[in-house]
Amino acid sequence: MKTNNSSSNVPLFGTLGPNARIEDFQSLASTSDGRFTAGTGGVNYICQTTDGKVEFIFFGDHVMAYVKSAMGYPAYYPIKPVEMKTPVKAVLMDLDGTSVRSEEFWIWIIQMTVASLLDNPKFELCDDDLPFVSGHSVSEHLTYCCEKYCPGKTVEDAREFYFQHTHHEMDEIMNGRGKANAFTPTVGLKEFLYELKAKKIKIGLVTSGLYEKAWPEILDAFRTLGMGDPADFYDAIITAGFPLRKGSAGTLGELSPKPHPWLYAEVARVGLGLTVEDSSQIIGIEDSAAGVCSIRLANFPVIGVVDGNIEQSGTLGLCNHYCDNFDQILKIID
């Protein structure tokens, strides 16, 4: 891919990514919170990803990203240019859609949740819903569905049904029953992971999924591949923690998941002991728009993979590379 010349009309546009093209984003007169307006207060330009989740504000000497929140807690982050350098010190990998093909299963759980809210077992999500029911937190997904399909219901109502369905289906799967092919390791995953180990590259697994849904996924995938205990294999694993609900203690995760940078930043800095000086040698691999933005806001280079919603969301330009498979990624790392 080549950077389009029109991008040069906006100072620092290349900060978003080496392949960022201005026409892949939606131009805005102001940020959605009204704080910044293009042409005033030192702001040169404002745009957003086509899924509307993240806005970028260009000043004379820096760029800010504004992450919106369906739950009412948005945030601003500085975004810095990144250059991928070798030798690579760490590879941080997404779970759903990148390591394991499971998005259809979790979208099905959300669909059943909405069906329960509507008391309509025949309810089905439509294709337009897909960018909003994958890649983000459970609460973000459910907030979107409540607002669109059942405005009389709350996200708390939806979460109750969601976890009922999740607990039942995960129990069925862990006992050898349940939905067939719910969790399928991505082709080439085993060979890719062993090759990273051979190169002595640290490996982190990063997911916005809650522990109770994420752990059975990767455990099932490792069993399928005959790779033993994933907790022993990965150098660090981070999830969105445990759900906060009455009767149990939860952990932070529902308000700070992808596209916020914290999961990727924490697994690199705390889990793997790497510093911001190592950022150009830490590679994130993602198939979703939320994940791509999360990696970029953590100021790491991104390798996007096909079959997610990267192209549809307008985040392709944030990727340093865009690959079809793990073999292509290994050639880049080499």
CB atoms within 10 A of CB 216: 19
pLDDT over threshold 90, residue 239: yes
pLDDT over threshold 80, residue 1: no
- Give the pLDDT score at 6: 64
pLDDT over threshold 50, residue 151: yes
Are residue 245 and residue 201 in the same domain, yes or no? yes
CB atoms within 10 A of CB 85: 14
Are residue 194 and residue 119 in the same domain, yes or no? no
Whether residue 157 is contained in a domain is answered as yes
- Average pLDDT rounded to a whole number, residues 168-175: 83
Q: How many domains does the chain have?
A: 3
Domain CATH number, residue 272: 3.40.50.1000
Give residue-wise pLDDT tens across range 128-142. 898 888 877 888 899
Are residue 245 and residue 222 in the same domain, yes or no? yes
Query: DSSP E strands: which ranges in the chain?
Result: 26-27, 43-48, 54-59, 63-67, 75-79, 90-94, 100-101, 184-185, 202-206, 236-238, 282-286, 302-305, 321-323
Range in 5-19, 65-79, 80-94, 95-109 with the lowest mean pLDDT: 5-19
Give residue-wise pLDDT tens across range 86-98. 999 999 999 999 9
Are residue 329 and residue 202 in the same domain, yes or no? yes
- Average pLDDT rounded to a whole number, residues 307-320: 92
For residue 289, the enclosing domain spans 90-102+185-333
- SS3 of 108, please? helix
Are residue 155 and residue 96 in the same domain, yes or no? no
Helices (H), 4-126: 103-118
Whether residue 291 is contained in a domain is answered as yes
Are residue 98 and residue 216 in the same domain, yes or no? yes
- Average pLDDT rounded to a whole number, residues 220-248: 92
Q: Are 304 and 319 in contact (CB under 8 A)?
A: yes
Whether residue 85 is contained in a domain is answered as no
pLDDT over threshold 80, residue 180: no
Are residue 268 and residue 226 in the same domain, yes or no? yes
Are residue 167 and residue 285 in the same domain, yes or no? no
HSE of 22, CA atoms in CB hemisphere, 13 A: 15
Whether residue 180 is contained in a domain is answered as no
Portion of the chain with pLDDT greater than 90, in percent: 74
Are residue 250 and residue 324 in the same domain, yes or no? yes
- Average pLDDT rounded to a whole number, residues 226-244: 95
| Average pLDDT along the chain | 92
Are residue 242 and residue 157 in the same domain, yes or no? no
Q: pTM value?
A: 0.86
CB atoms within 10 A of CB 278: 16
- Give the pLDDT score at 5: 44
- Average pLDDT rounded to a whole number, residues 146-159: 94
Tokens of 27: 């131009």
Confidence bin at 286 (pLDDT 50/70/90): very high
Query: DSSP E strands: which ranges in 201-326?
Result: 202-206, 236-238, 282-286, 302-305, 321-323
- Average pLDDT rounded to a whole number, residues 228-253: 92
b/e 236-246 (16+ beta carbons within 10 angstroms → b): bbbbbbebeee
